[in-house]
A and B are shown apart, each in its own frame.
Chain A
Amino acid sequence: MSATVAIQSKPKRSAEPLTEPAPVRWLLIGVAGLFLALFLFLPLAAVFVQALEHGVATYFAALREPDARAAIRLTLLTAAIVVPLNLLFGIAAAWAIAKFEFPGKSTLTTLIDLPFAVSPVIAGLIYVLLFGRRGYFGPWLDAHNIHIIFALPGIVLATLFVTFPLVARELIPLMQTQGTQEEEAAAVLGARGWQTFFRVTLPNIKWGLLYGVILCNARAMGEFGAVSVVSGHIRGLTNTMTLHVEILYNEYNFAAAFAIASLLTLLALLTLGAKSLVEWRTRRMAPATDEPKDELAS
């Protein structure tokens, strides 16, 4: 009897087995905090301080300047073309990889990651080699008066290449864990392919998809290396925002450079906010772990 009592009486609550002593904890938190402050918050603040150094008027004047407006337009246009294309490609690739068996499936999975492994500059160079004046298709394109390199199509292609894993990578694991059972159930109930996609598959992946799109958009607007190679840096024509920042900076026009940079920074902050919102939604939608007890009424 006494043994039972001894087991039932709770031992004195000590620290969790995996928790370090307080000084160690504070040291670790302090190091992480200091690091963040030095390398993230300080530069972030510096961007806005520099941009507004010569007053609000100079700041807005820099943004209204025609070349700056052209750069902003070009960046927005590029993102508007690239993001929908990657959305379609991402869904198609993830669908194929997660729900079918076909030869070359593992190769496709590996190839999707290629842009992550290749330096963006190389990605840009590939397109110059293919479509540039001395590239494989250059003479033919010239003869037909089609401009790819040093024009919008080249910028779009380079951005597409760099950003195409983002949506697919987000969806593949999600669709793999969800399996094909719900699609099978829909088919047995008489749903056609497109009904199954819009009523069952898409609602199940929508938050993952949105997350992928947000990341893809941020990367498309912020891309520098690949675009720099194919754009040709023509002011007011083929300069994206990132390239424009570089040009202004090289001309010692710091206030204007930081004004454009602050827009990109704002975009990053917005992306971060949207990303946390989506993550919060996904967590809330996740199935409850504690399910109610079974009881049959009859």
Chain B
Amino acid sequence: MSISVRNVSKTFGTFQALRDVSLDVQTGELVALLGPSGSGKTTLLRIIAGLETPDCGTVYFHGEEATNRRVQERRVGFVFQHYALFRHMTVFENVAFGLRVRPRRLRPRRSEIRERVQKLLELVQLDWLADRYPSQLSGGQRQRVALARALAVEPKVLLLDEPFGALDAKVRQELRRWLRRLHNEINVTGVLVTHDQEEALEVADRVVVMNAGQIEQVGTPEEVFHNPASEFVLNFLGHVNVFHGRAEGTKAIFGSLQVDYPNGANNVNNGSLTGSLGVRGFVRPHDLEIAVEPSENTLLAATIVRIHAAGPQAKIELISELGESIQVETSQERYRQLELAAGQRVYVCPRQITIF
């Protein structure tokens, strides 16, 4: 089932959580809403679920308007950040809840409920814990019970609110892969809220980057990572170095380095400034190259402050002559080949530089 959100806004008191947001989710897709806390991603998810009412705007399920449909009638599966398991019920009863509360004529027979719950518990690999209470489970197990409970009502849409937020790093990674496999198996439309960019990029088919109640960019993980639409997206998806230069015509100049800057001409024509204009260039740590000798690609000279080489990549912290801190990531082979050491003077060359 596809989901469409059209021009939705929501205010809590004086805080505007969503401003005129529109979004389309295709049938069978897994979309991640990614953003810092307060960006409105959870509010958007809760509006889709029917747990919040938008101040204005519409929500469509499969082309039909669902804005005023009650939460009970939306038939969505919702997984809460803190699981929200029924603490006085066993794992089995938790999963069976959605089937037991159905009106009599829609309720499956007892034996059928038993069978379906059993099957779901096998799917989340927890059939051996059916008689336990939530307080007797680990965080990861609780999360999987919550997922099985949400799936029991056979929802067309699965909504997950920071599903792995409260778990430790290793469990989070395992569950993430497991969720991706599960999504491929059961084929529902999924929307996942997360503030963890790694999680969003790894799990989702498409990523929606949100900031201050608005959508900054929608795209596949590759698109948002390699072609960020705004400075915010670039910043949010990982560390980035900022270099200050100036624009002259259609060129941007950083030290001795010149790069194409087609927007520069527009700026000069539109703006009152006739001469050069300050520009900022953004480079990811892995797009910076370290050289011992200067070359025509050299952006600037810097001194090595610290080397952190325990990991798949060597992380090198530099300080420029202007006192700016620069982060570089390079392969272990390259690092060994260059024989770098703290205090050494080196030259930094970008492979790719982004200017907005």
Write the residues of chain A forming the contact surface with B, with a CB cutoff of 8 angstroms. Answer: 181-182, 184-192, 195, 199-200, 203-204, 285, 287-288, 291-298
Residue of B nearest to A195 (CB): B101
Whether the pair B51, A287 counts as a contact (CB closer than 8 A) is: no
Whether the pair B101, A297 counts as a contact (CB closer than 8 A) is: no
Whether the pair A199, B139 counts as a contact (CB closer than 8 A) is: no
A199 / chain B contacts, CB cutoff of 8 Å:
86, 97, 101
A and B contact pairs by CB, cutoff 8 A, 8 listed:
A189-B98, A190-B98, A190-B102, A199-B86, A203-B88, A291-B138, A292-B136, A295-B140
- B:279-303 near A, CB below 8 Å: none
Give the residue among B76, B87, B102, B168 with the most A Cβ atoms within 10 A. Answer: B87
A292 to B139, CA, bound (A): 9
A295 to B49, CA, bound (A): 31
Q: Closest Cβ of chain A: how far from B230's Cβ, in Å? A: 34
Give the residue among A186, A190, A298 with the most B Cβ atoms within 10 A. Answer: A190
A181 to B78, CA, bound (A): 11
Write the residues of chain B forming the contact surface with A, with a CB cutoff of 8 angstroms. Answer: 49-51, 71-78, 80, 82, 84-88, 97-98, 101-102, 125, 134-141, 149-150, 152-153, 167-168, 171, 174-175, 178
A195 / chain B contacts, CB cutoff of 8 Å:
101
A294 / chain B contacts, CB cutoff of 8 Å:
138-141, 167-168, 171
Instruction: List 11 additional contacts besides A188-B51, A189-B97, A190-B98; criterion CB under 8 Å.
Output: A182-B86, A184-B80, A185-B85, A188-B49, A188-B76, A191-B72, A195-B101, A199-B97, A200-B86, A296-B125, A296-B174
Residue from A181, A200, A293 in contact with B82 in the complex, judged by beta carbons closer than 8 Å? A181
A292 to B118, CA, bound (A): 22
A297 / chain B contacts, CB cutoff of 8 Å:
125
Whether the pair A287, B84 counts as a contact (CB closer than 8 A) is: no
Whether the pair A190, B75 counts as a contact (CB closer than 8 A) is: yes
A-B pairs, top 6 by smallest CB distance, nearest first, are A287-B135, A189-B98, A181-B84, A294-B140, A191-B101, A185-B84
B174 / chain A contacts, CB cutoff of 8 Å:
296
B86 / chain A contacts, CB cutoff of 8 Å:
182, 185-186, 199-200
Whether the pair B78, A188 counts as a contact (CB closer than 8 A) is: yes
Known: A181-B82, A182-B87, A189-B149. A296 touches B101 (CB 8 A): no
Number of A-B contacts (CB under 8 A): 94
Residue of B nearest to A190 (CB): B72
B76 / chain A contacts, CB cutoff of 8 Å:
188
Give the residue among A186, A195, A296 with the most B Cβ atoms within 10 A. Answer: A296
A295 to B174, CA, bound (A): 9
Residue of A nearest to B73 (CB): A190
A16 to B69, CA, bound (A): 61
Whether the pair B51, A184 counts as a contact (CB closer than 8 A) is: yes
Whether the pair A293, B51 counts as a contact (CB closer than 8 A) is: no
Residue of B nearest to A178 (CB): B87
A158 to B175, CA, bound (A): 59
Residue from B138, B153, B168, B171 in contact with A190 in the complex, judged by beta carbons closer than 8 Å? B153
A185 to B81, CA, bound (A): 11
B74 / chain A contacts, CB cutoff of 8 Å:
188
Known: A189-B153, A292-B137, A294-B140. A184 touches B88 (CB 8 A): no
Whether the pair A287, B87 counts as a contact (CB closer than 8 A) is: yes
B75 / chain A contacts, CB cutoff of 8 Å:
190
Residue of A nearest to B144 (CB): A296
Q: Closest Cβ of chain A: how far from B102's Cβ, in Å? A: 6
Residue from B97, B152, B175 in contact with A186 in the complex, judged by beta carbons closer than 8 Å? B97
Residue of A nearest to B135 (CB): A287
Whether the pair A298, B101 counts as a contact (CB closer than 8 A) is: no
A182 to B149, CA, bound (A): 12
Residue of B nearest to A287 (CB): B135
Residue of B nearest to A292 (CB): B138
Whether the pair B136, A296 counts as a contact (CB closer than 8 A) is: no
Q: Closest Cβ of chain B: how far from A196's Cβ, in Å? A: 8
Residue of A nearest to B97 (CB): A189
A200 to B97, CA, bound (A): 10
A292 / chain B contacts, CB cutoff of 8 Å:
136-138, 141
A184 to B49, CA, bound (A): 10
Residue from A184, A287, A296 in contact with B140 in the complex, judged by beta carbons closer than 8 Å? A296
A185 / chain B contacts, CB cutoff of 8 Å:
78, 80, 84-86, 149
A200 / chain B contacts, CB cutoff of 8 Å:
86
A200 to B82, CA, bound (A): 17
Whether the pair A288, B78 counts as a contact (CB closer than 8 A) is: no
B72 / chain A contacts, CB cutoff of 8 Å:
187-188, 190-192
Give the residue among A181, A187, A288 with the most B Cβ atoms within 10 A. Answer: A187
B85 / chain A contacts, CB cutoff of 8 Å:
182, 185
A188 to B46, CA, bound (A): 11
Whether the pair A298, B178 counts as a contact (CB closer than 8 A) is: yes
Residue from A188, A204, A287, A293 in contact with B71 in the complex, judged by beta carbons closer than 8 Å? A188
Known: A291-B138, A294-B167, A296-B178. A192 touches B101 (CB 8 A): yes
B150 / chain A contacts, CB cutoff of 8 Å:
188-189
Residue of B nearest to A286 (CB): B135
A190 to B71, CA, bound (A): 7
Residue of A nearest to B141 (CB): A294
Q: Closest Cβ of chain B: how far from A23's Cβ, in Å? A: 43
Whether the pair A293, B138 counts as a contact (CB closer than 8 A) is: yes
A199 to B89, CA, bound (A): 10
B88 / chain A contacts, CB cutoff of 8 Å:
203-204, 285
A184 to B153, CA, bound (A): 15
A195 to B102, CA, bound (A): 10
Residue of B nearest to A188 (CB): B78
B152 / chain A contacts, CB cutoff of 8 Å:
189
B137 / chain A contacts, CB cutoff of 8 Å:
291-292
Give the residue among A186, A188, A192, A298 with the most B Cβ atoms within 10 A. Answer: A188
Q: Closest Cβ of chain A: how far from B63's Cβ, in Å? A: 22
